[in-house]
Each structure stands twice: as C-alpha cells, then as structure tokens.
C-alpha cells in the first residue's frame, strides 16, 4: 500500500508541472486528487474486490474470480463472542440515521454513521428514505433464528459474501462501524420493540 501511495504521489508531482496530461487511469487519479484533512491518497487504491466490481456497464467478470472473492468475503466475517448479536435498538436507530463519517468534511473523532436511510426504508414513520436498496421495514418478521441472525450479521459485515458487487458498503470488514454499532443495528432490525417492527396507523 505504502509503495502504491508513493507512486501516486510521484505521478501527482509530475502532472503538477502542467507539462503532461494523463493517458491512463492511475495517472489521472494521481494528478487529479490531493490529500485533505484526514483523507489520504491511499483511498484511491483499489483492493481486488473493488477492481473486480469496477467493470463498466455491468460487464461480466471471470466467474472463478467471482467465486474466490465471495469465499474470501465469507471468510472475512468476524462474529461477536458468544453469538451475542443484539444490542440496543434506540442506539441502532441513531446509527441508521447518521450519514456522516470518513468524508474529508467530517470530524474524524466523531463516530461514523451507517447512513442506512440513504438506501433503505426502515422505521415506517421516517419518510425520508432512499430506494437504492430494498425496504427493511418489518425486518424482524422475517425470522429470529440463529441462521437469520448470522445471515444478517454477514450482510452488514461484508455484503459481498452473498452478492459480489452489491452496492452496499462493507460496514464490518472495512471498519466503518464498530462491533457495538453493528449489534445496535441488529437490534434496530430484529427487536420486536424497535420501530422497524411496528406498524403505523
């Protein structure tokens, strides 16, 4: 990673002279962005999964590679000790509602949000929800078995374990949310008292 950042920085300094214009993607990235606040140039470097999922117009990738990435995602999941999945739904509601975190305009000391409402319907009383992902209202009624809990934890931790190139961030695997925040989100989804599982008149 360090070496790649150094390469990007070197390209940036070359392009900064204004003598050349990029011919390739890495050159263009290196010359066009600059580190700011807590956001460094390493952010532009893709891991194998990101590279695999960057194909224009949904072009199909190599299926062996896809299987390998799915297996790797599944293997990356860290389950909570004692399979203690359920935290506090009220704190989970706050995580779901918070869209901040990891942008250069954000306070790096403040907790990251999950920004769930950007893409999902959850509490039916919240009307400002997006539709990039499916509605999760009434999620608790889908079942409360250990299998269901482990499936949902896996989706939150690393969604690519089930759907390689899903648009959803890897909240656990990339450390966006803490284990406790994930448990609180699990409660928000599963707890019978959570507003996600209430009907509104």
Partner 1 sequence: MDLMESIRNAWRLAALFGLLVAAAPSFGEDAGIFDEYRAMFGDDNPAVFVIDEGEEYWFEPQGPKNSSLEGCDLGLGPGVVEGAYARLPRYFADADMMMDVEARLIFCMRELQGRPSEEIQGYPYSMRGDLGTELEALVAWLADQSSGMPIAPGQEHAKEREFFTLGEQLFYYRAGPHDFSCATCHGQEGKRIRLQALPDLTSHEGAAGAYSAWPAYRISEGVVRTMGWRMRDCFRQQRFPLLGVGSDVTVALQTYLAVTAAGAPMMAPGLKR
* Residues engaged in binding partner 1 (CB under 8 A): 15, 18, 21-25, 27-29, 31-36, 39-41, 43-46, 49-50, 53-57, 102-105, 117-119, 127-132, 167, 169-170, 174-176
Q: Are 77 and 153 in contact (CB under 8 A)?
A: yes
C-beta of 166: minimal distance to partner 1 in Å?
A: 9
Closest CB to partner 1 among residues 18, 82 = 18
Residue from 36, 78, 88, 64 nearest 170 by CA = 78
Nearer to partner 1, 22 or 77 (CB): 22
Closest distance between partner 1 and the C-beta of residue 28, in Å?
A: 4
Q: Which residues neighbour 69 within 8 Å (Cβ) at sequence distance 6 or greater? A: 48, 49, 52, 160, 164
Q: Which is nearer to partner 1, 121 or 197 (CB)?
A: 121
Residue closer to partner 1, measured from CB, 39 or 68: 39
Q: Which residues contact 118 (CB under 8 A, 6 or more apart)?
A: 99, 130, 132
CB of 61 to partner 1, least distance (A): 12
Q: What is the CA radius of gyration of the chain?
A: 20
List helix spans (H) across 36-128: 48-52, 63-76, 89-97
In the complex, least distance from residue 49 CB atom to partner 1, rounded to whole angstroms: 8
What angle do helix axes 179-190 and 89-97 make, rounded to 10 degrees?
Answer: 100
* Residue owning tokens 């949310």: 177
Q: Which of 189, 192, 77, 181 is nearest to 135 (CA)?
A: 189
C-beta of 123: minimal distance to partner 1 in Å? Answer: 13
User: How far apart are CB 95 and partner 1 at their closest, in Å?
Assistant: 15
Give the nearer residue to partner 1 in terms of CB position, either 100 or 142: 100
- Cβ nearer to partner 1, comparing 37 with 144: 37
CA dihedral (23, 28, 31, 34) in degrees, to 10, reads: 180
């Amino acid at each position: 990673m360090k070496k790649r950042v150094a390469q990007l920085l070197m390209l940036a300094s070359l392009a900064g002279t204004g003598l050349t214009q990029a011919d390739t993607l890495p050159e263009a990235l290196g010359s066009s962005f600059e580190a700011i606040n807590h956001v460094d140039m390493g952010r532009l470097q893709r891991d194998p999964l990101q590279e695999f999922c960057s194909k224009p117009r949904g072009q199909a990738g190599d299926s062996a590679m896809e299987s390998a990435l799915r297996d790797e995602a599944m293997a990356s999941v860290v389950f909570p000790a004692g399979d203690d999945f359920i935290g506090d739904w009220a704190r989970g509601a706050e995580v779901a509602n918070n869209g901040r975190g990891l942008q250069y305009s954000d306070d790096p000391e403040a907790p990251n949000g999950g920004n769930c409402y950007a893409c999902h319907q959850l509490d039916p009383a919240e009307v400002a929800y997006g539709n990039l992902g499916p509605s999760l209202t009434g999620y608790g009624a889908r079942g409360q078995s250990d299998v269901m809990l482990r499936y949902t934890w896996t989706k939150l931790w690393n969604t690519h374990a089930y759907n390689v190139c899903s648009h959803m961030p890897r909240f656990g695997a990339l450390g966006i949310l803490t284990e406790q925040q994930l448990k609180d989100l699990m409660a928000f989804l599963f707890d019978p008292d959570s507003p996600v599982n209430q009907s509104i008149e």
